[in-house]
Amino acid sequence: MTQQNPLLDFSDVPLFDRITPEHVSPAVDALMVEAQAALDTVTASDFPANWLGISAVLDAATEKLGRAWGAVSHLNAVADTPELRAAYNAALPVITEFYTRLGADERLYAKYKAIDVSTLNLEQKQAHKNAMRNFVLSGAELMGVAKERFAKIQ
C-alpha cells in the first residue's frame, strides 16, 4: 500500500479525492520512520552543526510528515466520517509524541546552539532565532521531573 498511498505522493498538491482512512496509518508509520531516522542522523555526534546540513536532512523529513498529516487533519475537519475519525484519532498521539520529543530533544538543541550564526544570511538567522526560542518553549532546557511533567501535559 505504501507505493500507492496518496499521502506519500509529494509531487504536487495533496490528492484529497484519493485519500482514504486506510491510507493514514501506513503513511504515518512510514513517515515517522523517516523522520526519526533524520533526527537520529542530524543528532549523531559526527554530524556537523551546520544550518544547511541539518535543514537538508531534518526539514525534508518533517516537512513530508507535516504535509501528510496536514492533509489528514484537513479531511478530518471537512469530510468527517467515523472511519476517518478513527484513523485520525489513532495517529494523533503518535504525531503529538514525535513533535513533543523533537522540540525538546537535547541533542538537537545542542546542535542548534553550536551553529555559527555569523555564517547565516538574514532569513536563516531569523529562522535560527525562532528555532532556539521554540526549543526553550518546548522544554529543551528542562531537566528530570520537570521535563517529564512538561512532556506529559503536552
pTM for the model: 0.88
Digit-coded pLDDT (tens) for 4-57: 999 999 999 999 999 999 999 999 999 999 999 999 999 999 999 999 999 999
Q: Does domain 2-153 have CATH number 1.10.3720.10?
A: no
pLDDT tens digit string along 92-130? 999 999 999 999 999 999 999 999 999 999 999 999 999
Phi, psi angles (nearest 5°) of residue 44: -65, 145
Q: Name 128's Cβ contacts closer than 8 Å, sequence gap at least 6.
A: 51, 112, 115, 117, 120
Residue 153: pLDDT band by 50, 70, 90 thresholds?
Answer: confident
Q: How many CB atoms lie within 10 A of CB 133?
A: 10
Q: What is the pLDDT of residue 3?
A: 61
Residue 44, Ramachandran bin (φ over 0: left; ψ between -120 and 50: alpha; else beta):
beta
What's the rounded Cα separation, in Å, for the pair 51 and 58?
Answer: 10
